[in-house]
Amino acid sequence: TTPMDADSDVALDILITNVVCVFRTRCHLNLRKIALEGANVIYKRDVGKVLMKLRKPRITATIWSSGKIICTGATSEEEAKFGARRLARSLQKLGFQVIFTDFKVVNVLAVCNMPFEIRLPEFTKNNRPHASYEPELHPAVCYRIKSLRATLQIFSTGSITVTGPNVKAVATAVEQIYPFVFESR
Amino acid sequence: MTGRVCRGCGGTDIELDTARGDAVCTGCGSVLEDNIIVSEVQFVENSGGGSSAVGQFVSLDGAGKTPALGGGFHVNLGKESRAQTLQNGRRQIHHLGSQLQLNQHCLDTAFNFFKMAVSKHLTRGRRMAHVIAACLYLVCRTEGTPHMLLDLSDLLQVNVYVLGKTFLLLARELCINAPAIDPCLYIPRFAHLLEFGEKNHEVSMTALRLLQRMKRDWMHTGRRPSGLCGAALLVAARMHDFRRTVKEVISVVKVCESTLRKRLTEFEDTPTSQLTVDEFMKIDLEGECDPPSYTAGQRKLRMKQLEQVLSKKLEDVEGEISSYQDAIESELENSRPKAKGTLASLTRDGSVEDSASSLFGEEDPEDEELQAAASHLNKDFYRELLGAGVSSSSGEAGGPEGGSRPPALESLLGPLPTAASLGISDSIRECISSQSQEPTEPDPNAAALCFPVAGARGDGELDLSGIDDLEIDRYILNEAEARVKAELWMRENAEYLREQREKEARIAKEKELGIYKEHKPKKSCKRREPIQASTAGEAIEKMLEQKKISSKINYSVLQDLNSKGGGSLRGGGAQPQERAGARKLSRRKTPAGRSGADPVSSVGKRLRPMVSAQPAKRAAVGETLLLSSPSLGAEPVRPTAVVESGPVSYPPEEDPDEEDPDEEDGEPCVSALQMMGSSDYGCDGEEDEGY
């Protein structure tokens, strides 16, 4: 009966706070040139990368000289792609022969709120292998779903932070965890 | 030990020496057993005249010196190392555990955990101290002793989160479920440290009750148990008339003062705090509270709602606002964002911030009025934007003219985002229709929200739809700006650049002096796979290929030996095996006596490959080349002298030696081994052999 009840009122809104993606430009980039001519860049020479921040989709990109670029800060998958393309375009304008390949969303971070509180020690006991709770170290229970490669951090106030490889996995993870969390409220 | 047959020569004459614990074959001299375990105790006379018991100490855990020598030095090595690791671990566990006053049973359990961890290779790549601490903490948790991770980290001076990480990993890998910590466990320990004298027990009981109450009030989920204990003990002490200050409690419980105070205030919020001491001991309130972080969140929500209601009310008051309207409007037009370069925009932002600071100190109602006015105005603003296409207006940002203007600006720009949500559809239309025509950038907030979801083309070409080129152009600095930026960056990173230059100078100098040593990343030693061969001859062949030639052997002497004993070789397969074994052994022992000419011929074989190997390489390592020249001289003679007969064939080639050739060879310690067949230096063979 509990699963049925749980399913009936699931109308939780999952807020995606961060999407991380990578892509390649297939050409060697001269970091020094980017650093000198870009207006919105930070050049970290000691680690060999350039941080470029865009304003329109709020995105921070880490650019390596090999042509690999990691893009963080977007709030949806489309936005991430859009921002990545803008970035590639601006690199093109700087004069590099950029080809936009291998775009992949690597990590999605989302937050979700349950309308009830959760008893963490009880929850950990019921979900032994997947859940790990160490109050001395972190106030939340860390629940890993291996099949989806997703990790959920469950707080006692009912808010849950989910990280997963893509948006769909994140949504599925929340759906999966709902009944368990509902039991221990 | 009668009836035993020597594995080497097949002879039955075995001599058993109980003093040394050896069993040796008198025919070929191979040691069949070492460290024999006997049940009788014998005494031998010492040189000093006293007598001592015969025997050797063998350690309890770990194999120690395995009874069977030879065959499988590889494995012997591995075992010894493992035994050493375990021994080391045991010692450290005892050392640490005694500091924590853990009893022997706990220490043994911890050692078991450690053994499991080692067998699963969890110690690789981690500090041994961390792993040990994690094992100990695991034991503490399973046994329920009042030890905190903090204690361990104190002892080791390691960050507690690092230890925690190792501990979590260990618990996960070993599939051990550590039961959750109950703060009640810590109470007796802390109470004892706080020295309550005879009333210790009573105070503890009171503190326990308090903790139960806290649990029901949802204060304890997600909190460090030590913090809760501290608060409970403090209150309990006060209830029993003990003056324990916050500082004393902190030093015992190891939390921060602010944490303790926070717990106390949280507890204050619960209805239980209203009871008197006696009441508390008797009654237990039924209701439960919400967790404190939840109530804090609720409070914020309520505040926001209040604000909204208030602002709505003020919107209705339009009378006094109309006079501000015109002033604000003109100000607006003057100072619309005209971004020529990011520096310009930065200055614009700067001026806004300046004006913002002047806002502080104004009374609230005025502010709210202005806010309301501003939001009202925004609607007008957007209508204007659409209609007139308001472009370059007159004048730059007019300086702040009195108090009314600048605040208006700031409050105008303040609620822009909220107003933008109203004007979105309009601005999107504008954005799409007039993309590259506008010289000035339309409101960034509005434009930011139009994302055409265009599919990427598969061939990697950049799909340019929806990308505003002009905005991107602004990201590219012009000459002067680039110079300024370069200058700034240089100044910022001066330290790093200086270090780099110094390092290069140092390297250049060293190069000149010739002592420059490049630090190449260490190459890990290759593990050699055991040789799989069906016959002894094959085994020797393969081994010859693998093994490197030694430079420590005086081959000229061996030559003579060889010529003498050239024909006597070729026993059965046993011989070559022995030889192979001998080689293995001799790697460790220095060439002792040379018995038998067997090995010599193999030396001869090996000589050729040795010569062709670059002598230069070996010189680099600093070993003395005993016989490069004599061997060269000897070389041409050799092939004729050596009697090549039998199954052993000459390996025409040797593999290139990169590392210096280890010693090896034909040292006639043929007396060595029982070769369980050199085919596998398998420990398995050994184990069967040993008792």
pLDDT tens per residue, range B132-180 = 999 998 888 888 888 888 888 888 888 888 888 888 888 888 887 777 7
* Contact at CB, A36 and B482, closer than 8 angstroms: yes
Closest residue in A to B292 (Cα–Cα):
A157
Alpha helices in B60-103 (DSSP H): 73-99
CB < 8 Å to B168, chain A:
132, 134
Residue range A35-54, pLDDT digits in tens: 888 778 888 888 889 998 88
Q: Could you give the CA distance from residue B554 to residue B630 in angstroms, rounded to a whole number?
A: 10
Q: Which residue has the tokens 């010189």?
A: B619
- Nearest Cα residue to B100 out of B142, B138, B155, B141: B155
Q: Which of A40, A45, A136 sits opposite B224 (nearest CB)?
A: A136
Judge whether A19-106 and A114-183 match in fold: yes
Amino acid B632 reads L
Q: Which of A40, A45, A128 sits opposite B475 (nearest CB)?
A: A40
* Contact at CB, B462 and A99, closer than 8 angstroms: yes
CB < 8 Å to B485, chain A:
36, 39
* Distance of residue B184 Cα from the nearest chain A Cα, in angstroms: 14
* Per-residue pLDDT, B171: 85
Work out the burial of residue B555: count CB atoms within 10 Å of its CB; fewer than 13 is exposed, 13-18 middle, 19 or more buried.
buried
* Per-residue pLDDT, B659: 41
Closest residue in B to A23 (Cα–Cα):
B460
Q: Could you give the CA distance from residue B100 to residue B94 in angstroms, rounded to a whole number?
A: 10
Work out the burial of residue B64: count CB atoms within 10 Å of its CB; fewer than 13 is exposed, 13-18 middle, 19 or more buried.
middle
* Contact at CB, B474 and A39, closer than 8 angstroms: yes
* Rounded (10°) angle between helices B628-641 and B555-565: 10
Residue range B56-115, pLDDT digits in tens: 666 555 455 544 444 444 444 556 788 888 888 899 999 988 888 888 998 999 999 899
* Distance of residue B421 Cα from the nearest chain A Cα, in angstroms: 16
* For range B458-482, the mean pLDDT: 63
Of B297-311, B508-522, B652-666, the least confident? B652-666
Max distance between CA atoms of chain B, in angstroms, equals 126
Other Cβ atoms within 10 Å of A177 Cβ, number: 23
Considering Cα of A133, then A16, then B218, then B151, what sign does the dihedral take? positive
Angle (CA) B676-B682-B686 rounded to 5° is 60
Residue A131 has pLDDT above 80, yes or no: yes
Task: Please give the C-alpha separations between residue B559 and each of B548, B602, B604, B606, in angstroms, as whole numbers.
Answer: 19, 11, 8, 12
- Binning pLDDT at 50, 70 and 90, where does residue B639 land? very low
* Per-residue pLDDT, B513: 79
* Residue B676 and residue B71 in contact, taking contact as beta carbons nearer than 8 Å: yes
Strands in B31-33's sheet, in edge-to-edge order, are B14-17, B22-25, B31-33
Strands in A159-164's sheet, in edge-to-edge order, are A41-44, A49-54, A59-64, A68-74, A14-24, A101-113, A159-164, A150-154, A141-145, A131-133
B177 CB near a chain A CB, below 8 Å?
Answer: yes
Q: Which CATH architecture has domain A19-106?
A: 2-Layer Sandwich (3.30)
B567 CB near a chain A CB, below 8 Å?
Answer: no
* Contact at CB, A37 and B175, closer than 8 angstroms: no
To which H or E segment does residue A72 belong?
A: strand A68-74
Work out the burial of residue B560: count CB atoms within 10 Å of its CB; fewer than 13 is exposed, 13-18 middle, 19 or more buried.
exposed
* For range B335-360, the mean pLDDT: 48
Closest residue in A to B486 (Cα–Cα):
A36
* Distance of residue B329 Cα from the nearest chain A Cα, in angstroms: 27
* Contact at CB, B180 and A156, closer than 8 angstroms: no
Helix (H, G, I), strand (E, B) or coil at B494: helix
* Distance of residue B427 Cα from the nearest chain A Cα, in angstroms: 14
- Binning pLDDT at 50, 70 and 90, where does residue B546 land? low
User: What average pLDDT does the structure give for chain A?
Assistant: 85
Domain A114-183: give its CATH superfamily. TATA-Binding Protein (3.30.310.10)
- Nearest Cα residue to B187 out of B239, B154, B232, B142: B232
Q: Could you give the CA distance from residue B516 to residue B469 in angstroms, rounded to a whole number?
A: 52
Helix %, strand %, coil % of chain A (to 5): 30, 35, 35
User: Of chain B residues 339-378, which have a CB less than 8 A from chain A?
Assistant: 341-342
* Per-residue pLDDT, A109: 93
* Per-residue pLDDT, B445: 41
Residue range B657-684, pLDDT digits in tens: 444 444 444 444 544 444 544 444 444 4
Q: Can you give the residue ranges of every domain in chain A?
A: 19-106, 114-183
* Per-residue pLDDT, A164: 92
* Per-residue pLDDT, B11: 79
Global pTM exceeds 0.90: no
Work out the burial of residue B312: count CB atoms within 10 Å of its CB; fewer than 13 is exposed, 13-18 middle, 19 or more buried.
exposed
Closest residue in A to B298 (Cα–Cα):
A157
B621 CB near a chain A CB, below 8 Å?
Answer: no
Task: Please give the C-alpha separations between residue A89 and each of A70, A82, A180, B286, B461, in angstroms, as whole numbers.
Answer: 15, 11, 46, 65, 11
- Beta strand A49-54 with A141-145 is unpaired
User: What average pLDDT does the structure give for chain B?
Assistant: 66
CB < 8 Å to B448, chain A:
55-57
- Binning pLDDT at 50, 70 and 90, where does residue B615 land? very low
CB < 8 Å to A79, chain B:
451
Q: Which of B294, B472, B497 sits opposite A117 (nearest CB)?
A: B294
CB < 8 Å to B486, chain A:
36
B148 CB near a chain A CB, below 8 Å?
Answer: yes
Q: What is the interface size between A and B, counted as CB pairs within 8 Å?
A: 134
* Contact at CB, A136 and B181, closer than 8 angstroms: yes
CB < 8 Å to A85, chain B:
456, 462-464, 467
Cα B233 to the center of its chain, rounded Å:
38
Amino acid A3 reads P
Q: Could you give the CA distance from residue B219 to residue A156 in angstroms, rounded to a whole number?
A: 10
Other Cβ atoms within 10 Å of B408 Cβ, number: 23
- Nearest Cα residue to B588 out of B7, B56, B74, B59: B74
Helix (H, G, I), strand (E, B) or coil at B264: helix
* Contact at CB, A93 and B476, closer than 8 angstroms: yes
Of A114-128, B272-286, B343-357, B474-488, the least confident? B343-357
Q: Could you give the CA distance from residue B542 to residue B588 in angstroms, rounded to a whole number?
A: 20
* Residue A39 and residue B477 in contact, taking contact as beta carbons nearer than 8 Å: yes
B51: phi then psi, degrees, rounded to nearest 5: -120, 145
* For range B370-377, the mean pLDDT: 62
Report ipTM for this prediction.
Answer: 0.74
B388 CB near a chain A CB, below 8 Å?
Answer: no
